[in-house]
Structure 1
Amino acid sequence: MGNSHHVDGRAPVHGFYSSSSWIEGAAVRQLEMVADLDGVRAVAGLPDLHPGKFGPVGCAILADHIHPGFVGSDAGCGMALYQLDLASRRIRVDKAADRLRDVAKPYDGDIAGELAAHELAPSDLDASLGTIGGGNHFCELQAVEQVFDETAGIDRDRAFLLVHSGSRGLGHALLERHVADGLKPLAPDSAEGQSYLVAHDHALRWARLNRDVIARRAASALRCEADPVCECSHNCVVHRSEGVLHRKGAAPSDQGLVVVPGSRGALSYLVAPLATAPKEALWSIAHGAGRKFDRSSMIGRVGATRSDRERLARNPFGGRVICEDRALLAEEAPEAYKPIAGVIADLESFGLARVVASFRPLVTVKKIAVERRHKEDRR
């Protein structure tokens, strides 16, 4: 059932992580603070748990009301995995990296047409459609490391594409509108609650389209086709008969296969959530490795020298990491994250999921430097 504890007057807190999961005390205290809020019914901490803003990341929260802060500033942020009609053995990493670099540039396609085709109303923030964004977002070309379930349809000879991105400016604007007068819960049937949900649902659909456009851009660069394997959101509100479920850096366990990525220097895992998982996990599993060190503490810890930056531009599997922002390269170094093997082991030992396949990173695209204008444009 997990490591559960219940304090009188506080919702139960269920922890699905072992003593070796590197769970900070600050994150546990945040879980307990959330459980102490009026109307919160239960809280589940997952093995990627770490401190965050407005509550810990790597948790699920069941409540009576909508809490925009629990969703955060990137509603709809999530993962999408695609199988490519491209043999992984034919990939030349450096050549693929050169082709995929353009995915980090602004999308120059028909944004209005994409929105219309998916029945999404236009907004002032649509120029970022088809772009990865900053932070821990990425587009990654992968090869199969191992298949554990041959019935899942994973072709070990094919290349795969994993896209991690969200709603970009839409999610940020949504949260800003609802925290301008301070964080407060919203009744689901109130005018304010309904207004939030309409914008929230739009952001989730926009984020899903964003991941799909990124995948199509990457597949086009590699001259292949991409077929979706699975897709989900990590930051969202879900209405259930039991209450309002918030996932704050947590993947759903009731929507089929889920990708749980490691750092950009580690394996990613495709897992099948178990129908027999304890209900205390609140229909959720871990969404990734989870941070071991916060961003600010990574500055100066790694990436200070040229040789160290060159090391970070390669992964232990001989793959490439395209990130031309020195600060971001340090913040997102593999050392900043927990070992993914431990997170996966906890998911298995607590009966939350079983492993279907693992993937190694070949090329990770994050951010490129802003290109200078041509000389003739600067005269």
Structure 2
Amino acid sequence: MTSSHLAASDSGESQGLRRFYGSGAWIEGDAERQLTQTLTRPGVQAVAAFPDLHPGIHGPVGAAILSERVHPALIGGDIGCGMAMFRLDLPARRLKLDKAAAALRGLGDSWWGNPWAALEAEGLHPETFPAALGTLGGGNHFCELQAVAALDDPEEAARAGVDSGSLLLLVHTGSRAFGPMLLGALTPAEQEALDLATEAGADYLRQQEMAVRWAALNRRVIAERAAELLRAEALLIVDSPHNLLEPHAGGWLHRKGAAKTSPGGLVPLAGSREAPSWLLKAAVETPEGALDSLAHGAGRRYRRSAMHGRVGRSKSELLRLERPAGGSRVICEDRGLLIEEAGAAYKDARKVLADLVAFGLAAPVVETRPLLTFKTARETRT
């Protein structure tokens, strides 16, 4: 791995590439190569790369790409994936961590609600993957209970209903099997460049929008489930997708691990199981070339395969992954996933935030610290 020494003013900008990170950012050489390759795709006009940039399967993660043509592979299979932040009406002073940890294990059970009614209420067909609704899935998806560590902008925080004693939920997940089905229905050639005049192109556009809506509903259902388990109510602060396709400036904006923003809007920035997260306020005047997008989190520093053997080599190390320094808890009953998603797998979120601030992209509103991170648990119902 190498650390990039290219900033947003360096070579490559004239070719439509803007890098919103400084010389100290941890950027793999493979991610830089994927940026260069992305610029050669037919119709690509502009690329914005953020400090959480890392290599992906089909292209860079942590980037927004504007193109005259649609490239489904750049978005990938988890269409609509994003993060939503909620405020609980339960004050932090009343939280009992042991009881909360036991309660949140219930997220591993099947949802006890009515998925068909929830889908219909959202304008989606009731048979659109009802069994998956209210579930996180694997990978880097999570539901995290957080406490307020600092109010960086107390006035903006108050407008969001957050004070120093608030408890927050940050939910990261997407469209589950829906998105991969849409990508898999395309031929390899269509995944690389899709003709919108074809039936396959029109169907992809229509169903892609449905998958984005399904994913937002899924985050809301998960938050409602978590809140009910904690005997509280979850109030949405912001939902921010980061894997999606949208019309933009006469072309098509592809976001892959790049959070959708609006001028002055709120956006979550996820840290890791062992690091803070933030609620950010996007700049009112978007810097040129940012494509109305932001980093969505710290971004991976090490690939999943590289984490095996790096951490979790003994029972004591595994226990530390479940009980990180700082007193938080991680509920993850999949040993491989616990290792692959360890805090050490991710970049320093503070440095990512510093780059976003330095380039005038966003400012911090609330800093949070993890209390309970739910990833997976065995179903307890019979």
TM range (shorter): over 0.9
Contact residue 88 and residue 227 of structure 2 kept, 8 A: yes
Q: Deviations over 1:222-265 (max 9, x none)?
A: 11111110111110001122411010000022161000010111
Counterpart secondary structure, 1:193: helix
In the alignment, is residue 238 of structure 1 matched against residue 246 of structure 2?
yes
Which of 346, 359, 363 is equivalent to 2:368? 359
In the alignment, is residue 130 of structure 1 matched against residue 149 of structure 2?
no
For 1:254, the equivalent position in structure 2 comes to 262
Shift of 1:147: 0.5
In the alignment, is residue 104 of structure 1 matched against residue 108 of structure 2?
yes
More deviation, 17-26/184-193: 184-193
Contact residue 243 and residue 256 of structure 2 kept, 8 A: yes
For 2:3, the equivalent position in structure 1 comes to none
Counterpart secondary structure, 1:270: strand
For 2:177, the equivalent position in structure 1 comes to 169
In the alignment, is residue 116 of structure 1 matched against residue 120 of structure 2?
yes
For 2:299, the equivalent position in structure 1 comes to 290
For 1:280, the equivalent position in structure 2 comes to 289
For 2:223, the equivalent position in structure 1 comes to 215
Contact residue 253 and residue 274 of structure 1 kept, 8 A: no
For 1:266, the equivalent position in structure 2 comes to 275
Take 1:315 and 1:254, find their aligned partners in 2: how far apart are those partners? 35
Q: Where do residues 1-379 of structure 1 align in structure 2 (5 Å cutoff)? A: 2-6=8-12, 11-123=15-127, 125-152=129-156, 153=158, 154-180=162-188, 183-254=191-262, 256-369=265-378
Take 1:177 and 1:118, find their aligned partners in 2: how far apart are those partners? 24
Take 1:370 and 1:87, find their aligned partners in 2: how far apart are those partners? 28
Contact residue 52 and residue 299 of structure 2 kept, 8 A: yes
Shift of 1:180: 4.8
For 1:377, the equivalent position in structure 2 comes to none
Take 2:254 and 2:59, find their aligned partners in 1: how far apart are those partners? 11
Contact residue 79 and residue 175 of structure 2 kept, 8 A: yes
Take 1:190 and 1:245, find their aligned partners in 2: how far apart are those partners? 20
Identity of aligned residues (%): 47
Unaligned runs of 5+ in 1: 374-379
Unaligned runs of 5+ in 2: 1-6
Q: Deviations over 1:83-135 (max 9, x none)?
A: 11111122111111101110122212111111111111133632110001100
Corresponding letter in the other structure for 1:240: H
Counterpart secondary structure, 1:178: coil
Counterpart secondary structure, 2:80: coil
- Structure 1 122/20 Cα, relative in aligned 2: closer, same or farther at 3 Å? same
- Structure 1 188/324 Cα, relative in aligned 2: closer, same or farther at 3 Å? same
Corresponding letter in the other structure for 1:82: F
- Structure 1 130/7 Cα, relative in aligned 2: closer, same or farther at 3 Å? closer
Contact residue 4 and residue 12 of structure 1 kept, 8 A: no
Counterpart secondary structure, 1:3: coil
Corresponding letter in the other structure for 1:97: A
Cα root mean square deviation, aligned = 1.7
Take 1:134 and 1:245, find their aligned partners in 2: how far apart are those partners? 26
Take 1:174 and 1:215, find their aligned partners in 2: how far apart are those partners? 26
Take 1:81 and 1:135, find their aligned partners in 2: how far apart are those partners? 19
Take 1:179 and 1:125, find their aligned partners in 2: how far apart are those partners? 23
Q: Deviations over 1:12-54 (max 9, x none)?
A: 2111111211101110000000001110001111000000011
| Equivalent pairs, count | 371
Instruction: Tell me the TM-score normalised to structure 1 length.
Output: 0.94
Shift of 1:283: 1.1
Corresponding letter in the other structure for 1:350: F
- Structure 1 133/328 Cα, relative in aligned 2: closer, same or farther at 3 Å? same
Take 1:272 and 1:124, find their aligned partners in 2: how far apart are those partners? 34
Take 2:187 and 2:344, find their aligned partners in 1: how far apart are those partners? 33
Instruction: Tell me the TM-score normalised to structure 2 length.
Output: 0.93
Shift of 1:137: 0.3
Corresponding letter in the other structure for 1:199: Q
Take 2:193 and 2:347, find their aligned partners in 1: how far apart are those partners? 32
Contact residue 3 and residue 17 of structure 1 kept, 8 A: no
